[in-house]
Amino acid sequence: MTATPYRRLLGIALLFSLSSCDSGPSKEEQAKAAAEAAEAEAEKKRIEERRLKREAEERAEAEAEQKKKDAIAALAVLPEKLPKKLDKACAAMVEAQNKFMERAYADEPETLEKWKANPSAQQMIAATCKKSGSVQAAACQAHALENAPPEFAKSFPELLAACNEKYGANKAGSVPPS
């Protein structure tokens, strides 16, 4: 009987001695954990910086697009004097277009030469103008092209479309000519 309480006492002493020897993770493990935590924090910071940069770029792009739309809207107005006939309005628009191309591509003689050498594109634009049936749209297009800066070379279709939307005979809510 005396052996049993002694064994219990020995077991309890052994239990306390083992638990007191455990001092936690070693210094190497602590350093490794700290390095991993620092790397995770640095990665979070990089992700946040990329997100902020992407959002800033998206905002700048949206602002530039809005400025461009505003500038196109400002150009898409009627001139003070409107031609009376559609043929004259379309001829003025084609002439304004040629002058615009000369201004816009003055630094790119190859592109300008291609434009001049392709009268079918100019004829197609004139035919489209006549098909639209709107003296106001043609006059607006001529005015927009006369006043557009060279930077709008790539926005040429948008200039024409803005005038068609505002003044075209086939705009929404109007009856096309028969």
* Residue 169 neighbours by CB distance under 10 Å: 17
What's the pTM value of the predicted model, to 2 decimals? 0.64
* Model pLDDT for residues 108-161, shown as the tens digit of each residue: 889 888 888 888 877 888 888 888 888 999 999 999 999 999 888 888 889 889
Is 134 part of a structural domain of the chain?
yes
* Position 17 in a domain: no
Look at residue 100 and tell me if it is in a domain: yes
Contact 161, 134 (CB under 8 A): no
> For residue 44, is it within any domain?
no
- List the domain range (segments joined by +) for residue 146: 76-167
72-111: pLDDT as tens digits: 999 999 998 988 999 999 999 999 998 998 888 888 889 8
Answer yes or no: is 130 within a domain.
yes
Instruction: Specify if 48 maps to a domain.
Output: no
Give 152's contacts (C-beta < 8 A, 6+ positions apart).
71, 72, 75, 104, 159
- Cα separation, 107 vs 100, whole angstroms: 13
127: exposed, middle or buried (Cβ count in 10 Å: 0-12, 13-18, 19+): exposed
Number of domains in the chain: 1
The answer to the question of residue 112 being in a domain is: yes
CA atoms within 13 A on the CB side of 73: 6
| Number of neighbours of residue 140 by Cβ within 10 angstroms | 28
Q: Is residue 82 part of a domain?
A: yes
